[in-house]
């Protein structure tokens, strides 16, 4: 199991960067930032957000070991060639430490969808996600790419340089457990952020165990395949953080993402990060 911290660290840009540096010093394996435009959190109001690629660039320049990435990037509202270039830039700046996590996007929660005319239909967003990932993966190869889809087109575009990481920057895909189309999509990539149907809740350890068995049975691609879970490892005073995470380790999850979109104060984030990962 590897451990990462995900933070929106209030409305202080430099505090986010400092928090990532503290996470590296405290032994965390990764640091992730949200990718949103204007998200309202129930009972809290608007969530403070910065552009994730500017943030990741600054983090990459200030750290040397920790993996970094978005949690998560809504590909359906992005121009895939622009996203491909942003990823390559951060991958080079970090010397090969970027992870790209992607999904359909929280269309009903993020005003960057429903208040600006982006596609809301689930089927359309799924089509745009699949086409976008195909284009991004192709452009990262550094050879001329032509693509004619329902939503996106390329005509002989070559994008160089290629990513530092080979064969590509790892792509983690959100998938809904036991939804066939969603599960088939994840098998083509490098990891899964599994969710329950109509819920943002993570899978239980038993469900992760079933998911791991499904991947072992159906995935034929090469390389490591990550299963991501997470939440808060802060239990009761008599309960060790490691004991909260242990059932997920035993079930086959490979990454634990610590954090809560209900933004804590900078000091609370720092206090948690400095305690180190729940091991």
Query: For 65-121, what is each residue's pLDDT tens digit?
Result: 999 999 999 999 999 999 999 999 999 999 999 999 999 998 888 888 988 989 999
Q: Which domain covers residue 15, as residue numbers?
A: 2-274
Q: How many domains does the chain have?
A: 1
CA 106 to chain centre: 13
Instruction: Assign residue 228 the CATH number of its domain.
Output: 3.20.20.30
Comparing C-alpha atoms, which of 9, 105, 106 is closest to residue 48?
9
Residue 31 falls within a domain, yes or no?
yes
Q: Strand ranges (DSSP E) for the chain? A: 2-6, 30-33, 40-41, 45-46, 67-70, 73-74, 98-103, 145-148, 153-157, 171-176, 191-195, 226-231, 255-258
Query: For 110-145, what is each residue's pLDDT tens digit?
Result: 888 988 989 999 999 999 999 999 999 999 999 999
How far is the C-alpha of 41 from the C-alpha of 44, rounded, in Å?
5
Residue 256 falls within a domain, yes or no?
yes
Residue 238 falls within a domain, yes or no?
yes
């Amino acid at each position: 199991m590897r451990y990462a911290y995900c933070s929106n660290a209030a409305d202080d840009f430099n505090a986010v960067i400092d928090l990532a540096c503290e996470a590296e010093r405290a032994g965390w394996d990764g640091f992730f930032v949200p990718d949103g435009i204007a998200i309202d959190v129930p009972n809290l109001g608007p969530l403070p957000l910065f552009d994730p690629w500017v943030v990741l660039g600054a983090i990459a320049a200030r750290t040397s070991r920790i993996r970094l990435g978005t949690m998560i990037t809504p590909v359906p509202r992005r121009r895939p060639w622009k996203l491909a270039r942003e990823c390559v830039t951060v991958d080079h700046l970090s010397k090969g430490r970027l992870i790209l996590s992607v999904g359909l996007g929280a269309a009903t929660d993020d005003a960057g969808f429903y208040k600006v005319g982006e596609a809301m239909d689930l089927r359309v967003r799924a089509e745009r996600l699949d086409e976008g990932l195909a284009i991004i993966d192709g452009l990262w190869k550094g050879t001329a790419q032509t693509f004619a889809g329902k939503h996106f087109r390329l005509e002989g575009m070559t994008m160089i340089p290629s990513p530092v990481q080979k064969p590509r920057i790892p792509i983690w895909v959100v998938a809904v457990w036991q939804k066939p189309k969603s599960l088939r999509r994840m098998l083509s990539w490098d990891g899964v952020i599994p969710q329950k149907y109509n819920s943002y809740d993570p899978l239980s350890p038993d469900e992760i165990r079933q998911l791991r068995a499904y991947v072992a049975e159906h995935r034929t691609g090469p390389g490591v395949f990550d299963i991501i879970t997470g939440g808060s490892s802060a239990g009761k005073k008599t309960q060790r953080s490691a004991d909260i995470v242990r059932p997920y380790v035993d079930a086959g999850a490979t990454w634990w993402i610590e954090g809560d979109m209900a933004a804590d104060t900078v000091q609370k984030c720092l206090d948690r990060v400095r305690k180190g990962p729940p091991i």
